[in-house]
Amino acid sequence: MKNGLSNIKKSKFYLNKNECIGIPTETVYGLAANAYSDKATSKIFKLKKRPKKNPLIVHYYSINDLKKDCYINKNFLKLYKEFCPGPITFILKLKKNNKISKNVNNKKNNLAVRFPSHPLTRKLLKSLNYPLAAPSANISSRVSAVSKMDVVDEFGDKIKYILDGGSSKIGLESTIVSLINKPKILRLGSISVNQIQNIIKKKINFEKNSGNIVVPGQGKLHYSPGIKIRINVKNPKRHEAFILIKKREINDKNYFYITKNKNLNEAGKNLYKTLRMIKNLNYKSISVEKIPGKGIGQTINDRLIRASKK
Ligand code: TXA
Ligand code: MG
């Protein structure tokens, strides 16, 4: 390929050849491929070592593009108007004549769809004549990637190209809301259950794992740095990495601040980056200071609880 092509053109070049590339989004980086291609989407599962039955989110540029594959409804339009493009994923009913590869959603009649706001990825989506299937750019069950270097850390030279869009602004995966039948939250994110309730003017539930796992990736060990994690810790053990959200008087080389003044948005943005760093420093266990369960704090706790399951 010629040098000097713009990054968007390079991305397009590989995607058109049915390759997977890394793409930046405001939540986390995605491992993207043509959602209409069986060949391209099968590579995602292989690279991520992802179980075939765990469906992928498809990323669109516009409602017009989405309408080729899915039915939309009133709740969708309300939430779209308020939050999109942005960190929210909708489960919608697929049209009979949709073009989505059968690999993407395990032959179900519904699809997870999202409109990411990162300007580079929007530009890329606009330039393609297909949507992008993109799970988080990490090996299955591990911590998501929030920068180009994190994607390299996960996949090395196994992927052909990464579109570099800097650090992900939010740093936690999108909120997932099912709009099939009664609206339901399937995964917490930076957009809260309350914010969604306020828009659709109905009480909705977040289904914590009830044994009946609606979102496959949500059940077991997930978002894990591969090290033991303990949460709500006041005093860490001697050789443990300690994640903090408020500046302490004493300094310790094992202290890792994700925010120094309880700014929970900042904590969310720094969480995965810090977990990855601690892992790469070869710590054997991690403890985390208590994080208030308000707003995005609820999402941070959700991810930590899942990551701490053995
Ligand atoms: O922020 C995000 O959502 C990122 C960026 C890259 O867009 N993507 C992401 O994808 O987090 P992934 O695959 O790591 O997580 C998507 C979750 C999985 O747990 C999957 O099981 C669930 O969404 N999911 C996908 N399609 C679904 C469907 N049709 N019904 C229910 N759950 C679905
Ligand atoms: Mg993921």
Instruction: Please report, for the domain that includes residue 108, its CATH number.
Output: 3.90.870.10
Give a yes or no: residue 102 inside a domain.
Answer: yes
Kindly state whether residues 26 and 162 are assigned to the same domain.
yes
Q: How many domains does the chain have?
A: 2
Give a yes or no: residue 185 inside a domain.
Answer: yes
Kindly state whether residues 195 and 233 are assigned to the same domain.
no
Q: Is the pLDDT of residue 209 over 60?
A: no
Q: Locate the ligand 1 atom nearest the alpha carbon of residue 137 and give its number.
A: 6
Kindly state whether residues 110 and 195 are assigned to the same domain.
yes
Minimal-distance CA residue to ligand 1 atom 6: 30
- Can you read off the two tokens belonging to residue 103? 């690999």
**Residue 221 confidence (pLDDT):** 60
**Residue 206 confidence (pLDDT):** 82
Element (H, E) at 43: helix 38-48
Q: Is the pLDDT of residue 55 over 90?
A: yes
* 136 CA distance to ligand 1 middle (Å): 8
* 262 CA distance to ligand 2 middle (Å): 26
Q: Is the pLDDT of residue 99 over 60?
A: yes
Give a yes or no: residue 109 inside a domain.
Answer: yes
**Residue 239 confidence (pLDDT):** 94
Give a yes or no: residue 217 inside a domain.
Answer: no
User: Is the distance from the beta carbon of residue 114 to the nearest atom of ligand 1 less than 6 Å?
Assistant: yes
Of the chain, the percentage scoring pLDDT greater than 90 comes to 86
Kindly state whether residues 17 and 156 are assigned to the same domain.
yes
Kindly state whether residues 233 and 271 are assigned to the same domain.
yes
Rounded CA gap, 149 and 153, in Å?
6
Mean pLDDT for 29-48 is: 98
Kindly state whether residues 160 and 298 are assigned to the same domain.
no
Q: Is the pLDDT of residue 237 over 50?
A: yes
Kindly state whether residues 37 and 105 are assigned to the same domain.
yes
Kindly state whether residues 72 and 139 are assigned to the same domain.
yes
Give a yes or no: residue 208 inside a domain.
Answer: no
* 132 CA distance to ligand 1 middle (Å): 13
Q: Of the given ranges (16-20, 213-217, 238-242), which has the lowest mean pLDDT?
A: 213-217
* 254 CA distance to ligand 1 middle (Å): 33
**Residue 208 confidence (pLDDT):** 65
Kindly state whether residues 190 and 52 are assigned to the same domain.
yes
CB 129 within 8 A of CB 209: no
**Residue 210 confidence (pLDDT):** 39
Q: pLDDT class for 212, splitting at 50, 70, 90?
A: very low
Q: Locate the ligand 1 atom nearest the alpha carbon of residue 114 and give its number.
A: 7
Kindly state whether residues 82 and 164 are assigned to the same domain.
yes
Model pTM score: 0.95
The rounded Cα 200 to chain-centroid distance in angstroms is 23
Of the chain, the percentage scoring pLDDT greater than 70 comes to 94
Q: In this structure, which ligand is nearest to the CA of 223?
A: 2
Give a yes or no: residue 209 inside a domain.
Answer: no
User: Is the distance from the beta carbon of residue 55 to the nearest atom of ligand 1 less than 6 Å?
Assistant: yes
**Residue 4 confidence (pLDDT):** 65
Rounded CA gap, 303 and 142, in Å?
11
Mean pLDDT for 39-50 is: 98
User: Is the distance from the beta carbon of residue 98 to the nearest atom of ligand 1 less than 6 Å?
Assistant: no
CB 267 within 8 A of CB 258: yes
* 251 CA distance to ligand 2 middle (Å): 34
Domain boundary among 184, 200, 216: 200
Which residue type is seen at 246?
K
Give a yes or no: residue 215 inside a domain.
Answer: no
Q: What is the DSSP letter of 22?
A: E
**Residue 222 confidence (pLDDT):** 75
Average pLDDT along the chain: 93
Q: pLDDT class for 1, splitting at 50, 70, 90?
A: low
Rounded CA gap, 272 and 62, in Å?
29
Kindly state whether residues 293 and 188 are assigned to the same domain.
no
Which residue range(s) make up the domain with 298?
228-307
pLDDT digits (tens, 9 = 90+) for 72-86: 999 999 999 999 999
Domain boundary among 200, 218, 236: 200
* 96 CA distance to ligand 1 middle (Å): 22
Q: Of the given ranges (113-127, 165-179, 213-227), which has the lowest mean pLDDT?
A: 213-227
* 215 CA distance to ligand 1 middle (Å): 8
Residue count of the chain: 310
Mutate to test the pocket of ligand 1, among 28, 52, 109, 215 (most ligand atoms within 8 A of CB): 215
Q: Is 175 exposed, middle or buried (0-12, 13-18, 19+ CB in 10 A)?
A: buried
Element (H, E) at 58: strand 57-59
Give a yes or no: residue 212 inside a domain.
Answer: no
Q: In this structure, which ligand is nearest to the CA of 30?
A: 1
Q: Of the given ranges (9-18, 197-206, 240-249), which has the lowest mean pLDDT?
A: 197-206
End-to-end, the C-alpha distance of the chain in Å comes to 45
Q: Where are the beta strands (DSSP E) in 151-264?
A: 161-162, 175-178, 184-187, 205-206, 228-230, 241-244, 255-257
Mutate to test the pocket of ligand 1, among 41, 148, 173 (most ligand atoms within 8 A of CB): 173
User: Of 99, 94, 89, which is closest to residue 36 (Cα–Cα)?
Assistant: 99
How many distinct helices (H) and strands (E) make up the chain? 9, 14
Kindly state whether residues 178 and 271 are assigned to the same domain.
no
Q: Which residues of 101-128 are buried (b: 16+ CB within 10 A; e: fewer)?
A: bebbbeeeebbbbbbbbbebbbebbeeb
